[in-house]
Amino acid sequence: MRAVYAKWRGALRSAWADFVWAAWLGWQIDSNWTDPWLFAVYSIIKPVSSSLILVVMFLVAGRLRDAAGLAYIFAGNAFFIYVSQVLLGVSWTVYVDREEYRTLKYVYLGASRIITYLLGRAFANFGIATMSVAVLMAFGRLVLRMPLRVHDGRWLYGLVVLMLGIAAAAALGLGLAGIMLVTANHGSIISESLAGVLYLLAGVVFPIDVLPSWLQKISLWVPFTYWTEGLRRVLVGTSISQSMARFSDTAILAHLAVQTAAAVVLGLLVYAVSERVMRSRGLIDMLTEH
């Protein structure tokens, strides 16, 4: 028993070391295009400007003028940054390491566990997303005077919902990374397209009620639909979606947990199958260069 414990402890310590070094490498790659001060300014201006465009669009169109409605849309758009950053961060690593730096084969040959490595590389994107979301929440609260706060002290509920959604995004990103192992560099289009589809189906910038009935049914099978709804309830305290209002907070969490587990299984399965195809066809150092 003691030997098994020591083995698992050693494996976990090794995996953690791989994750930390991969995260450090990802940060160096993502932030080395400029000095830290300019990078920080860019990381603040970019999310704020995109969210302001969204707010002005709704104000000009006259669709939403009440504070709660605008905060509902604002919060969903802000937190979806996590999905896009983590999803692309995991999958895009395959293309960058294989086609630009040509090091993917060395990662496979080295001691690093590839899945831990991919997740670690995406952690830099997670950090950038966290900074962007924090800036947006502060901007919405202090400048735009939106009613954004944790309602009824539901800190733990909000944290659990947040972590489940990020886990689902990482799992789907892992599946996309597997697909990119066996496709040319235009596989990145798949990642960006999926992020756009999820942006639509999850009701990020509008309630899913405005979607056609058949799309609403599909939306209910997307974990990020429940994720954005749960976060909005924590931060805004209300829901403007009739389709989602029928779910209790417990039901939102249960649906999100089940669908996140399904996403993890799907992501691992797709990656495992794709990796086997890659190895059998000798595609580990494929260079498409187009």
CA 95: distance to chain centroid? 18
Which of helix, strand or coil describes residue 167? helix
* C-alpha dihedral sign at 107, 113, 116, 120: negative
Task: List % helix, strand, coil for the chain (3-state, nearest 5).
Answer: 80, 0, 20
**Measured CA angle at 178 (ends 176, 183), to 5 deg:** 90
Would you give per-residue pLDDT tens digits along the chain (290 residues)?
666 667 677 778 878 888 888 888 888 887 776 777 777 777 777 777 777 777 777 766 655 566 677 888 888 889 999 998 899 889 888 888 888 888 888 888 775 688 999 999 999 889 888 988 998 898 888 888 888 888 888 899 999 999 999 999 999 999 999 998 888 766 667 777 888 899 999 988 888 988 899 999 999 999 999 999 999 999 988 788 888 988 999 999 999 999 999 999 999 999 999 999 988 888 777 777 65
Question: Angle, to 10 degrees, between the axis of helix 155-181 and the axis of helix 114-142?
Answer: 130
Q: Other CB atoms closer than 10 Å to residue 277's CB: what's the count? A: 13
With 0-12 / 13-18 / 19 or more C-beta atoms within 10 angstroms meaning exposed / middle / buried, residue 198 is buried
Check: CB of residue 115 under 8 Å from CB of residue 271.
yes
With 0-12 / 13-18 / 19 or more C-beta atoms within 10 angstroms meaning exposed / middle / buried, residue 54 is middle
Amino acid at 103: T
Supply the pTM of this predicted model. 0.89
DSSP secondary structure of 42-64: HHHHHHHHHHHHHHHHHHHHTS-
Which residue do the tokens 């609260």 mark? 141
Check: CB of residue 23 under 8 Å from CB of residue 124.
yes
